[in-house]
């Protein structure tokens, strides 16, 4: 059972979406996406119809990403548990709704034009996270990712 957050967890999701023909129906995704959970940063590379790479990154690497998703650990856990419970995010837990409800936004970037990739590829990134409903996720203690 992969632990969130970890490279193993993101790779488990990557393997699911890359083997799912439905993921291709959304069209191509060309973006480097960061996920920030506490002091942990992960870089997800999407090229064409696949997630091609997952790696742990540094805070400085965020500058080179199109955008990153950032929220408190407990909100990540709530979002992923909601996805697991419902098979996909309900309306209060979609990436777009979370972004709209956060004063500083959920999707962040050092470049407004590159941040626009969040809106362009939102549904594909949502489907990436929705695929986590198909795996059992163990959650790290919040202190471990603070």
Three-class secondary structure of residue 146 per DSSP = coil
- Asked if residue 129 has pLDDT above 80, the reply is yes
Whole-Å CA distances, 125 to 16, 32, 34, 109: 13, 11, 11, 16
pLDDT category of residue 146 using cuts at 50, 70 and 90 = very low
Residue 103, pLDDT > 60, answer yes
Q: Global pTM?
A: 0.93
Task: Please check the confidence at residue 14 and state whether its pLDDT lies above 60.
Answer: yes
Please state, for a pLDDT cut of 90, what percent of the chain lies above it: 88
Architecture (CATH level 2) of domain 3-133? 2-Layer Sandwich (3.30)
Could you tell me the two tokens for 85? 């419970």
| pLDDT averaged over every residue in the chain | 93
């Amino acid at each position: 059972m992969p632990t969130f957050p970890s490279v193993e967890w993101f790779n488990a999701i990557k393997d699911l979406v890359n083997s799912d023909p439905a993921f291709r129906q959304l069209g191509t995704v060309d973006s480097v996406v960061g996920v920030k959970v506490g002091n942990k940063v992960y870089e997800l590379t999407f090229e064409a119809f696949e997630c091609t790479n997952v790696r742990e990154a540094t805070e400085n690497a965020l500058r080179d990403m199109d955008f990153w998703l950032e929220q408190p650990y407990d909100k990540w856990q709530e979002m992923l548990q909601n996805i697991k419970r419902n098979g996909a995010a309900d309306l209060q837990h979609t990436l777009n709704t979370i972004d709209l409800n956060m004063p500083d936004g959920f999707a962040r970037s050092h470049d407004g034009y590159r941040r626009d990739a969040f809106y362009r590829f939102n549904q594909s990134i949502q489907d990436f996270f929705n695929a986590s409903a198909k795996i059992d996720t163990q959650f790290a203690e919040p202190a471990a990712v603070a």
